[in-house]
Amino acid sequence: MKALVYEGPKKIEIKDIPELEVGQKEVLIKVEYCGVCGTDIHIYNGEGGAFDVSPPLIMGHEMAGIVEKVGSQVMDIQPGDHVTVNPNNMCGECYFCLNQMEQFCTRSVGTGTTNHGGFAEYCCVNEKQVFKLNKSLSFIEAAMTEPVSCCLHGIDLCQIKLGDQVVVIGGGPIGLLMLQLAKIAGASKVIVSEPVEEKRSLAIELGADVVINPMEMKLEEEIQKHSKNVNVVIECVGRTETIEQAISIAGYGSTVMMFGLTGPNAQVSIKPDVIFKKEIKLMSSFINPYTFERSVRLIESGRIKINELISDIVPLADSKKVFEDSSYRNKGKIMVKMSTNS
Ligand SMILES: [Zn+2]
Ligand SMILES: [Zn+2]
């Protein structure tokens, strides 16, 4: 089968690799679409991701497809089922798994990070990672289940109350998902800060009440015009400056969710006095514990808009450029299309 293989920092090739063996509890999926995630880019750049990575590796952890074959002990999944995959396979037995913190599982296996993932014609995963989809759902929308599941964990931790005022920093695919989830969670106003004009217009289309270009206006002053007290700030960029900005605009008794991923050695400066006087809660959100099922159902419900977030679809044969050309991929969410026929 054809696959996009990561061979080491800044080295990626389309290759023909042997067919995958399907274990007794495993499911072989014919991948239709697999999304490119910031984590894949971090891996490509040699910075690792949420997990340690050793090449050669087929990346890709945001996929949807059709079940091709199942192992002899698979109970609930059948060939022909439309499915998406939770890339994180937790052991279920370690201290963390047994204490409702499966995201910190010490023996977890990651599809597309430690094991071969979805940038290939086929992908093989454990049955417990597989989630059946309503066949009316498109594979592109279904391939967004993983990023949505990560956002759901983040939103859960923000504990948005009905009527809260929320600021989202960054209007990329994650910021635009967070905007929509904050609305559903009951925010009375969502303000999005984003320098790129097209992304600001998209934010308005997706329900933002106010958009601000932080390059042209002073964010703090602008926010004060629209909000008496910001209750929740969701930082979706992962840069030192934007994290510091998130803290500086946070209101009294607020939560700052540092959702954007920084490099491993990034440092931000904070003034404890500000945190103290405003009782700011600094939070972070790691992967997607227990949110995958809800994510599938939420996307199926049509209550969040997914297609609008996809900036381009590239066939597997052209997928190298997504990694090699950073200006191309900065436009939004890119989906790699695996099959050549459908
Ligand atoms: Zn991802
Ligand atoms: Zn575990």
Q: Indicate which ligand has the atom closest to the C-alpha of 103.
A: 2
The verdict on whether omega for the bond into residue 9 sits within 30 degrees of 0, i.e. cis, is: no
Considering the segment(s) 154-284 as one domain, its CATH architecture is: 3-Layer(aba) Sandwich (3.40)
Separation CA 214–CA 2 (nearest Å):
43
Asked if pLDDT for residue 129 goes beyond 60, the answer is: yes
Separation CA 225–CA 325 (nearest Å):
39
Helix (H) or strand (E) holding 136: none
Residue boundaries of the structural domains of the chain:
2-144+306-337, 154-284
Exposed / middle / buried, residue 185 (Cβ in 10 Å: 0-12, 13-18, 19+) = buried
- Tell how far the Cα of 149 is from the centroid of ligand 1, in angstroms: 10
The overall pTM is greater than 0.75? yes
The torsion of the CA quartet 135, 32, 296, 152, rounded to 10 degrees, works out to -160
What is the mean predicted confidence (pLDDT) over 220-244?
A: 97
- Tell how far the Cα of 91 is from the centroid of ligand 1, in angstroms: 20
What is the mean predicted confidence (pLDDT) over 251-255?
A: 98
Q: What percent of the chain has pLDDT over 90?
A: 91
- Tell how far the Cα of 85 is from the centroid of ligand 2, in angstroms: 18
The one-character DSSP state at 120 is B
Exposed / middle / buried, residue 277 (Cβ in 10 Å: 0-12, 13-18, 19+) = exposed
Retrieve residue 227's tokens: 């909000």
188: Cα within 13 Å, side-chain hemisphere = 11
Distance of CA 65 to the CA centre of its chain: 18
Look at residue 209 in the predicted model and tell me its pLDDT: 98
Report the range of poorest mean pLDDT among 7-11, 211-215, 246-250, 327-331.
Answer: 327-331
Pairing of strands 57-58, 281-284: unpaired
What's the pLDDT tens digit per position in 254-266? 999 999 988 888 9
Distance of CA 164 to the CA centre of its chain: 24
- Tell how far the Cα of 112 is from the centroid of ligand 1, in angstroms: 10
Separation CA 117–CA 331 (nearest Å):
24
- Tell how far the Cα of 225 is from the centroid of ligand 1, in angstroms: 35
What's the pLDDT tens digit per position in 137-172? 999 999 999 999 999 999 999 999 999 999 999 999
CB 40 within 8 A of CB 91: no
Q: Indicate which ligand has the atom closest to the C-alpha of 100.
A: 2
Separation CA 237–CA 191 (nearest Å):
15
Q: Indicate which ligand has the atom closest to the C-alpha of 89.
A: 2
pLDDT band at 327 (very low <50, low <70, confident <90, very high): confident
Q: Indicate which ligand has the atom closest to the C-alpha of 107.
A: 2
Separation CA 148–CA 333 (nearest Å):
13
What is the mean predicted confidence (pLDDT) over 54-79?
A: 97
* Contacts of 125 by beta carbon, 8 Å cutoff, 6+ apart: 26, 27, 29, 85, 89, 111
Retrieve residue 256's tokens: 């700052």
Look at residue 332 in the predicted model and tell me its pLDDT: 86
Look at residue 341 in the predicted model and tell me its pLDDT: 60
Please identify which residue in the block is written with the tokens 């026929």. Answer: 341
CATH topology of domain 2-144+306-337: Quinone Oxidoreductase; Chain A, domain 1 (3.90.180)
- Tell how far the Cα of 253 is from the centroid of ligand 1, in angstroms: 31
Look at residue 50 in the predicted model and tell me its pLDDT: 55
What's the pLDDT tens digit per position in 10-53? 999 999 999 999 999 999 999 999 999 988 998 998 886 556 78
Retrieve residue 142's tokens: 């279904």
Report the range of poorest mean pLDDT among 127-136, 300-309, 331-340.
Answer: 331-340
What is the mean predicted confidence (pLDDT) over 303-317?
A: 96
Separation CA 125–CA 197 (nearest Å):
40
- Tell how far the Cα of 104 is from the centroid of ligand 1, in angstroms: 17
* Contacts of 84 by beta carbon, 8 Å cutoff, 6+ apart: 63, 64, 130, 131, 133, 142, 143, 145, 146, 296
- Tell how far the Cα of 90 is from the centroid of ligand 2, in angstroms: 5
Asked if pLDDT for residue 6 goes beyond 80, the answer is: yes
What's the pLDDT tens digit per position in 177-215? 999 999 999 999 999 999 999 999 999 999 999 999 999
